Amino acid sequence: MPQIIDAKTAASLIKENERIMFGSFLAVGCAETIIDEIVKLGTKDLHLICIASDYEDRGVGKLLSKKQFKSAQVSHLGTNKAIQDQYNNGEIQVEMIPQGTLMERIRAKGAGLGGVLTPTGLGTVVEEGKDVLTIDGNQFILEKPISADWAIIKAEKADKMGNLVYSKTARNSNPVMATAAEKVIVEVSEIVEIGDINPEDVVTPGIFIDYIIKA
């Protein structure tokens, strides 16, 4: 059974130098309450894994504006000037990963796979330093799994066993990230009793969840 805790306690679990996956896309489906508490604590030298770096004043962008990340694996930087400036000034290391590849690498970790093969990025900087395999006459980049110490995700509703229901496109990367981290914290709008969620509506089973907070 996951523990139900408050956002301040959740934020205090995050330590310097840890790898964190944040579900969301441009702050949609983002655990804003927990992020605000991590900002207050000022925990630094973190590694960011997310689709987009959001905005300077929303989502993970609030952490980037405070320079709390030393490195990142992301697909999109275009809406956040803070990470752009830090990257150009050598203050943060960034690995740009095509969005589909990023999700598949995270999914591979959750599924216990050794990696995924994709043609995306052949002949570009994405290929540099990676193994390229030829299968049936076609070339593929071997992309290795991505893991994290923590996944911090957002759902609409959880029961007390941690079974999760999401709201529309706020679902985005949250379910796959819940499978690929050592520990998972979910922020929800509502916590209900066991049995109140139709099993057919459950997207993320409670076995993946360690901590629940109510936004």
| 140-174 pLDDT per residue, tens | 999 999 999 999 999 999 999 999 999 999 999 99
Answer CATH for 3-99+146-214 from 1.25.40.10, 3.40.50.20, 3.40.1080.10, 3.40.50.11540: 3.40.1080.10
> What's the pLDDT score for residue 97?
97
What is the C-alpha separation between 195 and 193, in angstroms, rounded?
6
Ordered mean pLDDT values, 10 residues apiece, the chain (215 residues):
97 98 96 98 98 97 98 97 97 97 98 98 95 98 98 98 97 98 98 97 98 97
> What's the pLDDT score for residue 182?
98
> What's the pLDDT score for residue 8?
98
pTM for this one? Answer: 0.95
β strands within the chain, DSSP E: 3-4, 19-22, 46-49, 69-74, 93-96, 116-118, 132-135, 138-143, 148-159, 164-165, 181-192, 211-214
What is the C-alpha separation between 82 and 192, in angstroms, rounded?
38
> What's the pLDDT score for residue 6?
98
What is the C-alpha separation between 178 and 8, in angstroms, rounded?
20
> What's the pLDDT score for residue 122?
97
> What's the pLDDT score for residue 40?
98
